[in-house]
Structure 1
């Protein structure tokens, strides 16, 4: 079990590069580091939560296309700002919302929780296994040489981001490409994950209050995944950086 101070120290040293804020000055992130999780497969609680998220998505999408939802539209514009084509590389929120008609994926109870919270609050939300991390997380515009370990056609491969692409990374390379599009293998959550990092990404028109509500919901639900769950939190924004531990 990690000391809560260690979790907070990890978040305190995380950063977002200034060129990212130059693209989108309205960008904000909440980072949530969690330890003491008890891993396990999907269960009745995660199934009920996913069904709630699916019902919420059906209501939000009644009579309108996914791309017209305000936060989805904002992320499509953000992708265009660094040269990505949102029709081909959809942000994680849009990708999940498009799956709700046929059913959200059932992976394991940890992944189920954060996918459901993403849909319920309409916010891109990524989860990483901190056991695979090397150094601290940071969001940067890539040089194009950073390694990204992934799979293609069922084969393990190492790819590289496009120069200028917005990526989350650590000292070992890219952990998530195109801001919140695709996560790498090295830090992916699994059924043995006990310590994790979650990143909630917001653009206008999502308010600070709505972002905080999503983070609070996630933290509350994660706290039920073990008797000794501990969390640390930090909010990062362009004008000011603040943090809060709990």
Structure 2
């Protein structure tokens, strides 16, 4: 069991490299470190929340294509900025929205919860087991030599990101490739996860208020996953320009 001060100290070590802000100065993230979660498989509550997210997505997409949604379009442009092809490697928000019509996955109640919040607020959102981390999370442009543990063709393999690719990493390697495309196995959420890290990613036109609202919703729902849940939060953004406001 981790106390609130320990969670806050963990988040203090998190950072976003200047090279990432050079690509997208409008990038902001909210990190939530949460402890005291009571794990478990998908249940009626998580299924009901996913159904609400599926209905919201169907309504949103009844009048426009996924790729025309403003936040999805912004992420497509962000992927292009470091050489990724958004038609082949879709950001996590777009991938979930495209699955909503046929049904979002039911994984476990923790994963179900954050997937639903991602769709309801139209924000890329990742969840990871904090105990799998070696040091604090950092968003950087990869050298190309970092280790990324994943599964290919049913076999556990170590891959490496492309040079210049935007990745989340810690001291042991990459935890999520292409900003918010694919998470690694080492830190993935499991049915026995009790301590987790959640990362919400935003670009314009998503406002700070909308981003904080999504984080508030996530935190409130996580609090319901145990009587002793505690959470620390940190928002990271580019430093204001010295010319801002002039």
- The count of residues paired between Structure 1 and Structure 2 equals 240
Q: Which residue of 2 aligns with 1:165?
A: 165
Q: Which residue of 1 aligns with 2:150?
A: 150
Normalised TM-score (structure 2): 0.97
Q: Which residue of 1 aligns with 2:234?
A: 234
Gaps of 5+ in 1: 241-246
Q: Which residue of 2 aligns with 1:9?
A: 9
Deviation at 1:237, TM superposition (A): 0.2
Q: Secondary structure at the match of 1:89?
A: coil
Q: Distance in 1 between matches of 2:233 and 2:108?
A: 23
Gaps of 5+ in 2: 241-246
Q: Distance in 2 between matches of 1:213 and 1:59?
A: 20
Deviation at 1:108, TM superposition (A): 0.3
Normalised TM-score (structure 1): 0.97
Matches within 5 A, 1:22-171: 22-171=22-171
Q: Which residue of 2 aligns with 1:200?
A: 200
Q: Secondary structure at the match of 2:7?
A: helix
Deviation at 1:154, TM superposition (A): 0.3
Alignment partner of 1:223 is 2:223: yes
Q: Distance in 1 between matches of 2:99 and 2:238?
A: 32
Q: Which residue of 2 aligns with 1:243?
A: none
Q: Secondary structure at the match of 1:5?
A: helix
Q: Which residue of 2 aligns with 1:191?
A: 191
RMSD: 0.5
Deviation at 1:239, TM superposition (A): 2.1
Deviation at 1:64, TM superposition (A): 1.3
Q: Distance in 2 between matches of 1:128 and 1:166?
A: 18
Q: Distance in 2 between matches of 1:24 and 1:136?
A: 22
Q: Distance in 1 between matches of 2:110 and 2:50?
A: 12
